[in-house]
Homo-oligomer: A and B are copies of this chain.
Amino acid sequence: MKSPLLFSGLSEADVRDLLAAGQARLLKRHEMLGHQGHPADAFAMVQIGHLKLVQLSAGGSENLVRFIGPGDCYGAVALVSGARYPLSAIAVEPSQVLTWTREAIGGLTERLPQLKSNILEEVMRRMSGVLFTAQDLATTRVPQRVAHALLRLAESGGCRTPAGVQIVHPVTRQDLAELTGTSLFTVSRLMSHWEAEGLLLTRRGALTLLDPDALERAGAAAGE
């Protein structure tokens, strides 16, 4: 595993302390790590596997916000006393996370200002990301939004192959539809179209972007 951004600037000794202070937890498929609306009493970092962060709507339906994988963290809001999780985290495959209680992570951030800075930085990065997707939802058409979602997935959880960038998250059309605020039918149509044009490849669940740049352009042109 490449070193998480969470650890940047920390000494090896500090990282060791940090890891030692956390408690590992195994998650089965569909098991929840944190519940939206419940008191944020723990902070966690994914070590193995992938989780999805979902938001419950007023109507009770769930919808996907984003995926997180190894090195990503969840529950930064636990640093605020009395806060509640704004999102739920659910394992999409058997996973392992390292968790810290609120007191533990609070104490660690006091002792390691660099850690606190790293977390704040990550929160700000997330803020920018959410602002961008909100703008995307507000101003662009469906094809471009789907293209952007694919590119974002490729960036956060992609691995380079000779043919292109392969997306490691197990992502369904329904997932993409929720990410982009559309229906799975429309996503299916778009992706069939793009696959016919040779921009991407979907083989039994594995999704590979063959030409990210062209995809960006295709989304913009179709949405025009």
Contact = CB atoms under 8 A, between A and B. Distances in A.
A84 to B, nearest CB: 9
Nearest to A87: B131
A126 B127 contact: yes
Contact of A138 (B117, B128, B131, B137): B137
B138 A63 contact: yes
A65 interface: yes
A65 B136 CA distance: 12
A108 to B, nearest CB: 15
A80 B9 CA distance: 14
A66 to B, nearest CB: 10
B87 A120 contact: no
A77 interface: yes
A9 B31 CA distance: 38
A55 B127 contact: no
Interface residues of A, number: 32
A127 B86 contact: yes
Interface in A78-104: 79-81, 83, 86-87
Interface in A14-49: none
Contacts of A137: 134, 137-138, 181
B86 A117 contact: no
Interface string A103-146: 00000000000000100110110111011011101110000000
Nearest to A40: B124
A36 B180 CA distance: 24
A178 interface: yes
A57 interface: yes
Nearest to A133: B134
The 9 closest A-B pairs by CB, nearest first: A138-B181, A137-B137, A134-B134, A86-B128, A80-B121, A130-B130, A77-B124, A55-B135, A80-B124
